[in-house]
């Protein structure tokens, strides 16, 4: 029941807040990656955000979240706070301006609450209702706006998971490589954003317009500070099914298969005579209630049965996870087409044709 | 199924980082010293980040706002 001592030592110099229900949160100020189940902002009382912490990617929810990183960030941000306060006192820094916005300001949310209240509003609920609100007001395009908080690999950077401003790798031929960024460089700024974490860099990428053509990076290399201008290729924000796979925002996208189930473990694969490391999942649910019930009915009508083991979809069998399958289906299948499923049932392989519907 | 997994991951992160101490402070009530959860270190967690910002402005401290899913 004790907060780790090293964390407690740094946290005592902060005013602490924890949000477990986003219902009353000012969405205009606290701008986080709402797909995450954990996120932290380090900020000034006047609304200035110093740093962000708590991103994740498709590999693991914990890859970018560790105690040493948070402790170091809390320690370093105290310096940033003192510097900012000094700048503000000298009239060289100003608090930010923002337009307050809460869930109650989203008509789609208000309508939903009248029918059936969510109770606790989770972070991913915020994202879902921001999407609905945007769709209703022509401010959201699924083709573009699902690609939020781009990871550094989009520009060819791999950062150190613990010392997150440190460049671990630069992909050959990538925009960052072309800009002259090198492994061992330490990121200082990305555009106007001070970078101490991977989430800080993601924020800078997130805030860059869809059609931005370059992003200046300030990097520290030994005793030198250099500026590297990263040229952003067309469509640079758009990721792939794998990068979307962990994000809850994929669920409302259409078309959708209307069924799913757990990925088979190694012993299940062996029992079925499937190669070790291959992908397969066992169908254990159909979407059969609510506004998407037609998707589940469509899947059943195509002959899919509970217990079927799906080993390939549309000729593709190299999914990293069932979430990857769901993201891929939504991104790459078109309503009106037919997708072929290879399934195992009672030890025999069958091919099923699933009409793809919205 | 997917919701359950998200919740489990959220709980895992919370236990790794901020742990049951945060839950203990919640048990004590927002704004009250978390003596039970933090060995009497008097770390205090606000549930409203706007209240935390106002306090921070008064006390001259920075703010840490943690967003996480509850079990």
Per residue in A263-314, pLDDT (tens digit) is 999 999 999 999 999 999 999 999 999 999 999 999 999 999 999 999 999 9
Residue B39 main-chain phi, psi, to 5 deg? 60, 30
Across the interface, do A11 and B43 touch by the CB < 8 Å criterion?
A: yes
User: What's the rounded Cα separation, in Å, for the pair A70 and A67?
Assistant: 5
Rounded to whole angstroms, how far apart are CA atoms A307 and A352? 14
- C-alpha to C-alpha distance for A194 and A200, rounded to whole angstroms: 7
What ipTM does this complex have?
A: 0.94
User: Please, which residues 13-32 of chain B have a Cβ atom closer than 8 Å to chain A?
Assistant: 13-14, 16-22, 24, 26
Beta carbons of A45 and B49 less than 8 Å apart: no
Pairwise pLDDT comparison (B35 vs A196), residue with the higher score: A196
Can you read off the two tokens belonging to residue A246? 């962990």
DSSP A279: -
Give me A13's structure tokens. Answer: 């110099």
Domain A254-355 architecture: Roll (2.30)
CATH no., domain A152-231: 2.30.42.10
- Strand order in B45-46's β-sheet? A49-53, A38-43, B63-68, A15-19, B45-46
Mean pLDDT over each residue of chain A, to the nearest integer: 96
Return the bridge partners of A39, or none: B67
Residue of chain A whose alpha carbon sits nearest to that of B71? A20
Count Cα atoms within 13 angstroms, Cβ side, for A355.
11
Say what the pLDDT of residue B10 is.
Answer: 45
Give the residue from A133, A135, A138 showing the smallest Cα distance to A111: A133
How much is the pLDDT for A37? Answer: 86
Is A57 in CB contact (< 8 Å) with chain B?
Answer: no
Minimum mean pLDDT range among A25-29, A88-92, B14-18: B14-18
* Smallest CA–CA distance from B35 into chain A, residue: A2
On chain A, the residues whose CB falls within 8 A of the CB of B52 are 15-17
Select the residue of B39, B55, B58 nearest A2 (Cβ to Cβ).
B39
Binary contact (B63, A42; C-beta < 8 A) = yes
CB A343 within 8 A of CB A352: yes
The three-class DSSP label of residue A69 is helix
Q: Is B66 on the interface with A (CB under 8 A)?
A: yes
Using a CB–CB cutoff of 8 Å, tell me whether A119 touches chain B: no
A 262-281 near B (Cβ less than 8 A): 262
pLDDT tops 80 at residue B6: no
DSSP β-ladder status, A281-282 and A309-313: antiparallel
3-state secondary structure (DSSP) of residue A297: helix
Q: Does B36 touch chain A (CB under 8 A)?
A: yes
Conformation bin of residue A203: beta by default, left when phi > 0, alpha when psi is -120 to 50: alpha
| A327 in contact with chain B, both atoms CB, cutoff 8 A | no
- Across the interface, of A1, A19, A37, the residue whose CB is closest to B10 is A37
- Which residues of chain A have a CB within 8 Å of the CB of B16? 62, 65-67
| A238-250 residue pLDDT tens | 999 999 999 999 9
DSSP string, B1-70: -HHHHHHHHHHHHHHHHTHHHHHHHHHH-TTS--TTTTTT----EES-HHHHHHHHHHHT--EEEEEE--
User: Which residues from A are below 8 Å from B54, CB to CB?
Assistant: 45
Domain ranges within chain A, ordered by starting residue: 1-139+241-250, 152-231, 254-355
Structure tokens at B36: 């039970």
- Say if A152-231 and A254-355 have the same CATH topology: yes
How many Å lie between the alpha carbon of A103 and the closest alpha carbon of chain B?
Answer: 15
In this predicted structure, what is the pLDDT of residue B70?
A: 60
Region of B7 please: left (phi>0), alpha (psi -120 to 50) or beta: alpha
Mutating which of B48, B56, B63, B71 best tests the A interface, going by the most A Cβ atoms within 10 A? B63
CA separation for the pair A17, B67 (Å, rounded): 9
What residue in A sits closest to B54 (Cα-Cα)? A45
Q: What is the pLDDT of residue B17?
A: 56
Q: What is the pLDDT of residue B37?
A: 42
Dump pLDDT digits (tens) for A331-348: 999 999 999 999 999 989
pLDDT at site A350: 97
Here the tokens at position A230 are 């990263």
B-interface mutation test, from A31, A41, A45, most B Cβ less than 10 A away: A45
Reported as a single tens digit per residue, the pLDDT across A54-72 is 998 898 888 999 999 999 9
CB contact under 8 A, B47 and A20: yes
Of A221, A220, A216, residue with least CA distance to A204: A216
Q: Which residues of A touch B40 (CB under 8 A)?
A: none
- Average pLDDT, stretch A30-35? 96
Question: 3-class DSSP state for residue A34?
Answer: coil
How do the residues of chain A divide into helix, strand and coil, expressed in percent and rounded to 5?
35, 20, 45
A116, with CB counted inside 10 A (0-12, 13-18, 19+), is exposed
Q: Which residues pair with A285 in a beta bridge?
A: A260
Provide φ and ψ at A242, rounded to 5°: -65, -45
Which of B6, B46, B65 is opposite residue A40, by nearest beta carbon? B65
Q: Cβ–Cβ of A24/B48 closer than 8 Å?
A: yes
């Amino acid at each position: 029941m004790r907060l780790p001592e090293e964390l407690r030592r740094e946290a005592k110099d902060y005013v602490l807040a924890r949000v477990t229900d986003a219902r009353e949160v000012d969405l205009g100020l606290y701008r986080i990656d709402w797909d995450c189940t954990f996120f932290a902002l380090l900020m000034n009382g006047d609304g200035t955000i110093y740093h962000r912490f708590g991103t994740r990617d498709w590999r693991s929810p914990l890859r970018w979240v560790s105690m040493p990183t948070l402790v170091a960030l809390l320690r370093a941000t105290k310096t940033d706070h003192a510097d900012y306060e000094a700048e503000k006192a000298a009239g060289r820094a100003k608090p930010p301006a923002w337009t307050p916005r809460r869930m109650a300001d989203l008509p789609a949310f208000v309508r939903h609450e009248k029918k059936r209240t969510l109770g606790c509003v989770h972070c991913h609920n915020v994202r879902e209702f921001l999407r609905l609100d945007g769709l209703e007001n022509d401010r959201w395009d699924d083709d573009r706006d699902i690609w939020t908080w781009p990871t550094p690999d989009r520009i060819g950077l791999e950062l150190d998971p613990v010392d997150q401003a440190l460049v671990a790798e630069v992909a050959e031929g990538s925009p960052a490589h072309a800009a002259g960024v090198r492994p061992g460089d330490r990121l200082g700024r990305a555009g106007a954003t001070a970078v101490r974490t991977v989430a800080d860099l993601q924020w800078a990428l997130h805030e860059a317009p869809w059609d931005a053509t370059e992003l200046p990076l300030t990097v520290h290399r030994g005793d030198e500070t250099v500026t590297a201008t990263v040229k952003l290729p067309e469509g640079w924000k758009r990721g792939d099914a794998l990068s979307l796979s962990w994000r809850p925002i994929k669920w409302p996208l259409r078309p959708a298969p209307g069924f799913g189930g757990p990925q088979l473990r190694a012993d299940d694969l062996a029992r079925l005579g499937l190669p070790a490391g291959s992908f397969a999942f066992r169908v254990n649910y159909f979407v059969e209630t609510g506004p998407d019930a037609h998707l589940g009915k469509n899947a059943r009508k195509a002959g899919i049965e509970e217990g079927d083991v799906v080993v390939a979809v549309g000729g593709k069998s190299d999914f990293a996870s069932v979430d990857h399958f769901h993201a891929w289906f939504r991104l790459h299948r078109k309503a009106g087409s037919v997708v072929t499923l290879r399934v195992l049932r009672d030890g025999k392989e069958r091919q099923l044709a699933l009409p793809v519907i919205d | 199924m997917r919701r359950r997994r998200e919740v489990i991951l959220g709980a895992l992160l919370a236990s790794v980082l901020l742990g049951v101490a945060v839950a203990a402070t919640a048990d004590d009530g927002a704004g009250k010293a978390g003596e039970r959860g933090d060995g009497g270190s008097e770390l205090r967690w606000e549930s409203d980040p706007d209240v935390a910002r106002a306090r921070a402005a008064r006390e001259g401290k920075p703010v840490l706002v943690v967003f996480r899913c509850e079990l």
